[in-house]
């Protein structure tokens, strides 16, 4: 009897342990299932992209830029200007006083920002009113690039040339003949890059130029065989030395010596790029035809992060605390925290 009682106790103990193991196993299964959606496809680890309401309607949006974690500006067709004061969660329309499209926006601070098409317009009151500065509309070409260091000193790119002002845009002097560029980024007050090129009749070529003295002089970096055989459609530098480019041939390159040499990271991107953005040397995003794709290994491999074959995104930007916003045709505004 004693032996049988011990065996019965042992059996009940084993049964409890088996039940515990089963419960743990069941919990793991349920937890795993909670990380999948109704189609049994894994949910992304980070927050999904959110479609943000565009208060201007369905205008084509061409550019976006942020000043800080909260304040940013979007420009686009039909005089569209939108601004946010809460990191892109909500946008309000601020009329720029005309009905033609603005191609480029540059934000100097929450009160001062610039809009460019053939002429250059400036607001000093956060978009309530605008003034055309300089005589840039007199020769009809698009202002593709704008960068101001302060209220007096700035650069634009128009008619294939870099122009500089030292009097707040009233007068402009030609500094450099840069071919055809439509991407500009300054990573410091001294070091900056412009990039572009052209594609027509089955031919494509790329251009990349660099300044190390705040735009006073420029050098042509676009001589490396292979790298610049395609129009540069996307460019982003995370510091003065490390940067990335995507070209029209859907190739992706990295430089780690300020553009002197380049290494190919990817032969075929998922689709044509219009703009690129990197959070770190590993994590990056490309906005373009059909949406947004992402890399987590510095551009070696890519996967769709947001895909919609009916949209074309034109510009992507981030706040200092890494909220990401992309805009494009049809008035699309996408946001990811």
Q: What is the DSSP string of 242-272?
A: -EEEEETTS-EEEESSTTSS-EEEES--SS-
At residue 293, the pLDDT reads 97
CA distance 31 to 27: 6
Full-model pTM: 0.83
Question: Which pLDDT tens digits describe the chain residue by residue (337 residues)?
Answer: 333 333 443 444 344 444 443 443 333 333 333 223 333 333 333 469 999 999 987 789 999 999 999 999 999 998 899 999 999 999 999 876 677 789 999 999 999 999 998 899 999 999 988 999 998 988 778 999 999 999 999 999 999 999 999 999 999 999 999 889 999 999 999 999 999 999 999 899 999 999 999 999 999 997 677 788 899 999 999 999 999 999 999 999 999 999 999 999 999 999 999 999 999 999 999 999 999 999 999 999 999 999 999 999 999 999 999 999 999 999 999 999 9
CA distance 58 to 288: 18
Is the distance from CB of 286 to CB of 278 less than 8 angstroms? no
CA distance 151 to 329: 31
At residue 227, the pLDDT reads 80
Tokens of 180: 């055809």
Is the distance from CB of 170 to CB of 185 less than 8 angstroms? no
Is the distance from CB of 210 to CB of 188 less than 8 angstroms? no
Tokens of 85: 């004061």
At residue 38, the pLDDT reads 36
Show Cβ contacts of residue 265 under 8 Å, excluding neighbours closer than 6 positions.
244, 252, 253, 254, 298, 299, 300
At residue 96, the pLDDT reads 65
At residue 47, the pLDDT reads 62
C-beta atoms surrounding 10 within 10 Å:
10
Q: Which residue has the tokens 């006083």?
A: 97
């Amino acid at each position: 009897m004693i032996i049988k009682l011990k065996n019965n106790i042992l059996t009940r103990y084993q049964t409890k342990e088996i039940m515990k193991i089963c419960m743990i196993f069941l919990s793991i299964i349920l937890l795993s299932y909670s990380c999948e959606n109704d189609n049994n496809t894994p949910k992304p680890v980070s927050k999904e992209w959110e479609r943000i309401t565009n208060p201007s309607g369905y205008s084509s949006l061409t550019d976006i830029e942020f000043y800080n974690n909260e304040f940013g500006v979007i420009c686009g067709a039909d005089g569209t200007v939108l601004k946010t004061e809460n990191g892109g969660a909500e946008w309000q329309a601020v009329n720029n006083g005309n009905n033609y499209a603005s191609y480029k926006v540059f934000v100097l601070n929450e009160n001062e920002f610039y809009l460019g098409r053939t002429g250059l317009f400036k607001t000093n009151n956060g978009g309530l009113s605008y003034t055309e500065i300089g005589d840039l509309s007199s020769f009809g070409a698009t202002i593709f690039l704008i960068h101001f260091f302060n209220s007096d000193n700035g650069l634009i790119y128009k008619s294939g040339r870099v122009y500089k002002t030292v009097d707040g845009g009233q007068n402009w002097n030609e500094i450099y003949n840069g071919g055809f560029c439509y991407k500009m980024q300054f990573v410091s007050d001294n070091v900056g890059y412009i990039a572009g090129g052209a594609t027509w009749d089955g031919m494509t070529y790329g251009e990349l130029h660099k300044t190390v003295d705040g735009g006073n002089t420029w050098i042509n970096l676009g001589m490396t065989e292979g790298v610049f055989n395609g129009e540069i459609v996307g460019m982003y530098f995370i510091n003065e030395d490390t940067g990335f480019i995507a070209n029209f041939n859907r190739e992706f390159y990295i430089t780690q010596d300020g553009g002197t040499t380049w290494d190919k990271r990817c032969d075929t991107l998922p689709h044509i790029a219009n703009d690129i953005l990197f959070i770190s040397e590993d994590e990056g995003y490309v906005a373009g035809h059909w949406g947004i794709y992402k890399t987590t290994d510095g551009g070696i491999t890519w996967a769709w992060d947001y895909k919609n074959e009916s949209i074309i995104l034109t510009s992507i930007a981030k706040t200092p605390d890494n909220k990401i916003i992309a805009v494009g045709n049809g008035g699309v505004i996408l946001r990811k925290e």
